[in-house]
Structure 1
Amino acid sequence: MDKQTFRDFAAASRGGARLVGVDLGTKTIGLALSDLGRQIATPLETIRRVKFTPDAQRLKAICEQHRVGGLVIGLPLNMDGSEGPRVQSTRAFARNLAPILPLPVLYFDERLSTAVVTRALIEADASRQRRGELVDKLAAAYILQGCLDAMRNVADGDFAGDED
């Protein structure tokens, strides 16, 4: 992801508005919410998927309730960085969501997010049931926090892609 992509997204999303992080799974959608200053991501909720329209309507209601200015959607790239069927499904979800929820979207690499969160929950001695309840929204927070940190680094001029 280049620094211009972050700048474009920051410009397109309403300044001073929260961002929602989305971890899109086949059975659930994990959500996280940023603070107004876009510094900290907090796990919000997990939507149990049923069908696209009710899932999209629930996401829209959450975004309206929290006055969200943009969506950060985890992109499930393969470990080698290539795009597989899950990436295509994620992009299709975002395309179908656009007419219902016209917010700027930034895709953010989510590789290993669920594994990192699951490992942390295991280390915290969370039961299997408790991990199941938390993992999706925590993965969304992990994705969103990574994006917020990257956006802040771009704003500060300290971006890994810089050549200066």
Structure 2
Amino acid sequence: MPELRRGVRLAVDVGTVRIGVARCDAGGILATPVRTVSRKGPEEGLTELAELVREHEPIEVIVGLPRSLHGGEGSAAEAVRAYSGRLSRAIDPVPVRLVDERLTTVSAHQALHAAGRSSRKHRSVVDQVAAVMILQAALDSERNSGRPPGAPLDAHTGTADPETEEDRR
């Protein structure tokens, strides 16, 4: 069985209003929610995310890239790519990786509903739950393949290598 790299990882679920943040332990066993960051704050939440990176000292930050069910990218993915480029520059030298996150927010809503939380109370935690799902999927992918998940983002250009990204879907 392939080995997982050791080290804490942070994951973010970037929304238009809020950003869910999750982390895992250094062994990469368990993803847990950290907090929800508002995009209304300084630099659309980048300042708070950079503080979380300093606090948790992750080996990388995983960003969920919203793709369509067919694997294509629309305006939401374009916005996440742009935000991820800014995040990458704000936390450099900590690497940022983009991973496919199809339907994680829908799954997070379903999980919260199944747990008995009312829809009105979902807003405060749904982004965190989605970030946990993104991170757990990334950890599982690495554990199964022996390769880091998704595609690395270049901190200077804010772009991912399309060949690497295509290989890791």
Smaller-chain TM-score range? 0.7 to 0.9
Work out the CA distance in 2 between the residues paired with 1:75 and 1:21. Answer: 11
Alpha carbons 2:9, 2:58 under 8 Å: kept: yes
Q: CA deviation at 1:52?
A: 6.2
Which one of 8, 23, 37 corresponds to residue 18 of structure 1? 8
Aligned in 2, Cα 1:36/1:134: closer, same or farther, shift over 3 Å? same
> Which residue of structure 1 aligns with residue 144 of structure 2?
153
Deviating above 3 A after TM superposition, structure 1's stretches of 4 or more consecutive aligned residues are: none
Q: Which moved more, 1:91-100 or 1:23-32?
A: 91-100
Q: CA deviation at 1:49?
A: 1.0
> Which residue of structure 2 aligns with residue 121 of structure 1?
112
TM-score (norm 1): 0.81
> Which residue of structure 1 aligns with residue 155 of structure 2?
none
Pair 1:134-2:125 in alignment: yes
TM-score (norm 2): 0.79
Unaligned segments of structure 1, at least 5 residues: 1-6
Give me the CA root mean square deviation: 2.0
Aligned residue identity for 2:112: L
Aligned length: 145
Aligned residue identity for 2:68: N
Unaligned segments of structure 2, at least 5 residues: 148-166
Higher relative contact order (CA 8 A, sep 6+): 1
Alpha carbons 1:21, 1:73 under 8 Å: kept: yes
